[in-house]
Structures are given as structure tokens and as C-alpha cells.
Structure 1
Amino acid sequence: MPNGSLEKFIYEERSNRVRQLGWPILHKISLGIARGLEYLHRGCNTRILHFDIKPHNILLDDNFRPKISDFGLAKLCMKNESIVSMLGARGTIGYTAPEIVCRNLGGVSHKSDAYSYGMMVLEMVGGRKNVDAGADRTSEIYFPHWLYQRIELDEDLQLVGIMNEEENECARKMVIASLWCIQTDPSNRPSMSKVVEMLEGKLDSLEIPPKPYLYSPSRIQVDSSTTELT
């Protein structure tokens, strides 16, 4: 793909107030990925669960249309199977759904891809890793926690590059959809079809999700998002 992976476009320097990709393009990319996952989950004769959705595995063509790549950890299952069996954890730390690591949180299913998608889109929104032990304030170490508080209180998101109300709406739809996707309980997460609907719909039709995580990492925990699970 001419533009390489999404990874090189989304992590911004703290001092840089200009994004490499504008909000309309970020929204288009997030919607394209959601449609791709919807196809894998519902459009194929056999359901395909990717299990490694992350910026590195999203390739961009010359018009920044996203293509999902690297199916090395993917698993096939019948469409009528809601839960799949797995012998061990798979994925990349930082994007892996909690039920893949701790099975008493729920069954592993297509909702596990939804979690990875949500964590990735939050990094697209923030222009940073979701966990940043070097953040200036403790409240900013875990970005989804900080962002949820702002959505809950209906405060300005303070995100880089929002220039008008249309871009603000793009950003807020991406944030709300992602916060639904990273719910700890898989049954609370939307299907990718619902995510597409949320991104294409009106902002005022979206409900604020419940607080979506078990805990916020402390400053002493280091982000290991490049470490593979085996």
C-alpha cells in the first residue's frame, strides 16, 4: 500500500499542534476499518476473527482507504457460533480484549475484535499510546479514562486539530463508539455493524456508555503494547 501502515500517521509529538491526518480522514479510516471487520464477521461464508487489530496491521492506499492486513493470528468459525474455543491467548498487549487473557470475564468471540478496534481508534483520536507513564498528570496516564471523564461531563475534548463543529462531531462519534467497544464485559460491546451505524449516524443519537474498564494503570506500569502474546 502506497501510504504504508496507519501506525506512522497517528502518534503525534506533544509539542506539535498540527495533525498529520485531519479529522475527516481519521473518521473515514475508522469507518473503513469498521466496515472491513463487519465484512469479516458477517459478510464471509465463514466468520473470520482477526485477533490482532492494531495500527501496524492497517495499511493505507493512495487515498487513505484502509486495508486490514496480517491474518496470522486469525481464527475461522461458523456464523452461528457466538463463542470460540482457544488454547491460549493471542494478540498484542494493549489491544487484546480482557476475556482473551482472563476467561471468567466472558467468552472469546467477534466482540474481542471490537475491543481491539476501540483501543486502536482511541489512539487515533489521541495521537498517542493509550498508556503513557510519562504523562505530566496522573489522570492522563491512561488516556481512555481521561477521555471518558470529559465525555461524561460533556466537556471539550481538548484534542489536537479540531477546527470546526463538523470535525468536533467526527471526533466525538469516534470517541463514543470506541468507549462502547472497550467495555470490559463483551456482551456490552457493540457488533461492528452497530459501530458502522454509530459512525455514520447523528452524534445526538449516541448514548454515553458506562465506564468501560476495570481499572486505570498506575504510573509504575509500563506500556508494553509492542509485546506479542504467545
Structure 2
Amino acid sequence: MAWQHLPRKKHSDKDALFSLLSAEFELEVNVSEACSSCYGGGGHCELEQNEEFQCDIAKKATSSVGIGVLMITIYCFWRKFSLNKIINFWKKETLTHQDVEAFLRNHGPLVIRRYSYADIKTMTKSFNDKLGQGGYGSVYKGKLRDGCFVAVKVLKESKGNGEEFVNEVASISKTSHVNIVTLKGFCIEGSKRALIYELMPNGSLEKFIYKGNPSNSNHQLGWETLYKISIGIARGLEYLHRGCNTQILHFDIKPHNILLDENFCPKISDFGLAKICPREKSFISMVSARGTIGYIAPEVFCRNFGGVSHKADVYSYGMTVLEMVGGRKNFDASVDFTSEIYFPHWIYKRLELGKELGLLGLLEEVDQESARKMIIVSLWCIQSDPLNRPSMSRVVDMLEGSLEPLKIPPKPFLCSPPSSPTDSSTIMV
């Protein structure tokens, strides 16, 4: 098979949907005439060890993992929702200022302080020191009256949607854990909204793990630090799922939302997509999908994979740790060899064949053991069937335990397990 990049072109409606889901690349598969005939007869064309193709009629054809992820995603989306529905989602009615104020009144006394917009301007010295910017707005360095430094996230006024603001305040105000970022206050004054967090000097995890990122050129994280970070994130999620008074599902675990303090202790942040639900409830109902493509669990956007539960965060965690291990995005079409495009598939094959991991900096035996544990645990976390993924409590146990009893999981191909009869609510993206 030959893989080649295609130039971008004008899209039809269906092409526009494809572009929405795979904005960074387009792929085309070319097969030989013999293989084409094989597929036409319902067979499966396989490359044998002697590098010759053989037609296997007994098996159903499967695409590569990368294309499989995209095609199944597109199929589920296109079958359930028209392009107009997807566009309408982004135009849905937003929460009004009165809605947010009503929530804050009905939520009862909050342990975090409410500040005025004048207070926000004072603590940031009129927004003098900008730390970062994103689609949500901008983050500024600030200082409270007690001398404590903070990061102030000022949400865009034009965004106008109070739902993520409400999610953030409601969920994070219920938490207190070393691996969860502390929300010190908030501001809502007319259309102006801001969130005040403890300042995390080292910023987000993504700055330190991707090769070629200019920001990590002077501080490449060692394997011992990466291993400790993976355990810290797992403990934070374990707390959200089992340690709070109520269960909190984050729905947006990714390197960008993991902040690092001065000692590189990880803290989970950005609860804008979080959902609070009773702990005794096995599956939750959702009216819209939430998450980031590349980390979002398959059952969140396609119910054929099962009901939505805390296992969605487990999947996102597994994808995050695999990016920490690989030092790259899990799906990278710019690599030299097609076999390396989808990192989980590539690293699984090396484990399966007993090869060296081929990762940078694995010089010490203890680092090799830590890396193997992170890989094996992550591959369990990204199983397509949520029932096959471990809980976060089990993840912590596996990471902190011995490598010897850990078994290599099934290959992390996307497949369609039986749909769950427990929760049949519609998911819309």
C-alpha cells in the first residue's frame, strides 16, 4: 500500500465534515490490482512475512488504525447527524447573565470568593502581565492582597456562553486535592467573567513533552519525572471519580490541561466541560458530545461503543500518557514511516515482538521499567470497549506495582462492541 498527502481542495458538505474531524491532513490509499480484486470478492489482502500479498477470503477487511479511527468517527457522525445539526450546535442558545446568577444563588454558599471586575483589574495591574491566550480568552499573572500570586483567566465577552463558566465554578469548588488545581475566586459582572487560580510556575505539560517544541529545549523532562507525573494525574482522576462527595467526570484530559507547579507536580485544570453526577450511577445521559478530538473516548460520540461513564476519562488519560511516552502527538502524518503514523499501534507492535522500545533517554533499567509500565497501562486505558478499561484506582495500582504481573492488552484497534441498553440518549457534536 502507498500513502500520500493530497493538496487541500474545495469541500462539499460531506467533505466539510471530514475536514472538521481531520483538519490537519487528508489521506488516500492506493492498492495493487490484485489486492483490488481480492477486496472486490469480499476478501482481505495481507502482507506476509516474505513481503508478498496474499488474499484471505475468511477475514473481513480492516483499515489501518489511523484511517479506522477517522472513518468510524465520520460514519457515526454522518449517520446520526446532518451537517446542519453540527453547525447548529455551535449556534445553540447560550446561558444568560441571569441564568448564571440564578445558579450561583441556588448553589448555596461557595467556599471560593467572588471578586468584582475592579478587583480583577487591580490584582492584574490592569492586565499588564499576559501569561497565555486561547479560544476561551486570555490568562494574566496577578497578585492577591495577601501576596499570593495567581493566574487570572479572563473569558472572552464575545463568547457569551455561561455554561463552561458554571461548570468550572460548580465542579472545582467541590474539590481539594494535591493533583487538582485550586480555584481561589471568580468574577461575574455583567458580561465580564474571570476565574482566579493558584499560579503554576511551569505552565502546562504540553510545553515539555513534544519534541521540536521550542519551549522545552532547555528543560526536557526525564523519565523519572514523567513517571511521577503520570501517577499524579491518575491520582487526581481517581479523586474526581471516587474521592469527592459527588462524582466528577472531567471530559477534557489532555496535556494542555495538566498544569505543573515549581516541583513539576501535576494538577488537573480546566473543568469547563466537566459533568457532576451521582456516584451510584453507572452510565450518564448526555445531550452533546464533549472533549477534544484525539483524546475523546469513542463511546462519547458514538453510542455503539457503549454507555458513557468515568471510563471516558480513563481513555483520555491513556492517550495523554502515550503522548508523554512518545514525545509526540499520537496521530502524526509527518513521520518518516507510515508504520509510525499512529503511535499506539507502533509501540504495541514493539511490545508484542519483544523489541527495544526505541524511545529517547532510556538508559537506566529503572527508567525502562517505568516506561514499560506507562505504555502497558495506557494501552489498557485506550481499549475501545469501556468495559475493558481499568478504573483509575486500578491504574494507580498498576503504575505503582511491579512490572512482572502486567499483561499486554489486546491490540488497541477501534472496533464496535455491543451497544449498551442502559443509556440510549442521543449524542450530538
| TM-score, normalising length: structure 1 | 0.91
Asked if 1:28 is matched to 2:195, the reply is no
Counterpart of 2:357?
157
Residues 29/183 of structure 1: CA separation in 2 closer, same or farther (3 Å cut): same
RCO greater where, 1 or 2, for CA within 8 Å and sep 6 or more? 1
Asked if 1:116 is matched to 2:316, the reply is yes
Asked if 1:84 is matched to 2:323, the reply is no
> In 2, distance between residues paired with 1:102 and 1:42?
26
Deviation at 1:152, TM superposition (A): 1.2
Q: Percent identity over the alignment?
A: 71
Write the deviation string for residues 117-141 of structure 1: whole angstroms up to 9, x where unpaired.
Answer: 0000000000000011111111000
Write the deviation string for residues 57-86 of structure 1: whole angstroms up to 9, x where unpaired.
Answer: 000000000000000000011111110110
> In 1, distance between residues paired with 2:263 and 2:412?
33
Asked if 1:183 is matched to 2:183, the reply is no
Write the deviation string for residues 200-229 of structure 1: whole angstroms up to 9, x where unpaired.
Answer: 0011110110112227xxxxxxxxxxxxx9
Aligned with residue 12 of structure 1, among 190, 211, 219 = 211
| TM-score, normalising length: structure 2 | 0.49
Counterpart of 2:251?
51
Counterpart of 1:65?
265
Counterpart of 1:94?
294
What's the secondary structure of 2:404's corresponding residue? helix
Structure 1, unpaired ranges of 5+ = 216-228
> In 1, distance between residues paired with 2:249 and 2:384?
18
Residues 58/72 of structure 1: CA separation in 2 closer, same or farther (3 Å cut): same
> In 1, distance between residues paired with 2:279 and 2:412?
27
Task: In structure 1, give the amino acid aligned to 2:274.
Answer: A
The aligned length equals 216
Deviation at 1:13, TM superposition (A): 2.8
Asked if 1:127 is matched to 2:330, the reply is no
Deviation at 1:18, TM superposition (A): 9.8
Structure 2, unpaired ranges of 5+ = 1-199, 416-427
Write the deviation string for residues 24-70 of structure 1: whole angstroms up to 9, x where unpaired.
Answer: 00000000000000000000110000000000100000000000000
Residues 176/19 of structure 1: CA separation in 2 closer, same or farther (3 Å cut): farther
Task: In structure 2, give the amino acid aligned to 1:112.
Answer: A
Higher percent of residues as strand = 2
Residues 142/17 of structure 1: CA separation in 2 closer, same or farther (3 Å cut): farther
Task: In structure 1, give the amino acid aligned to 2:383.
Answer: Q
Asked if 1:170 is matched to 2:365, the reply is no
> In 2, distance between residues paired with 1:19 and 1:192?
29
Write the deviation string for residues 139-178 of structure 1: whole angstroms up to 9, x where unpaired.
Answer: 0000000001111122110001111110000100000000
> In 1, distance between residues paired with 2:391 and 2:271?
20
Residues 188/18 of structure 1: CA separation in 2 closer, same or farther (3 Å cut): farther
Runs of 4+ in 1 over 4 A off after TM superposition: 16-19
Contact 1:17 1:160 in 2 (8 A): no
Task: In structure 1, give the amino acid aligned to 2:209.
Answer: I
> In 1, distance between residues paired with 2:412 and 2:218?
29
> In 2, distance between residues paired with 1:209 and 1:61?
33
Deviation at 1:187, TM superposition (A): 0.1
**RMSD, aligned CA:** 1.8
Contact 1:19 1:161 in 2 (8 A): no
Task: In structure 2, give the amino acid aligned to 1:110.
Answer: H
1:133-152 matches, within 5 Å, as 133-152=333-352
Deviates more, 1:68-77 or 1:5-14: 5-14
> In 2, distance between residues paired with 1:127 and 1:19?
13
Counterpart of 1:199?
399
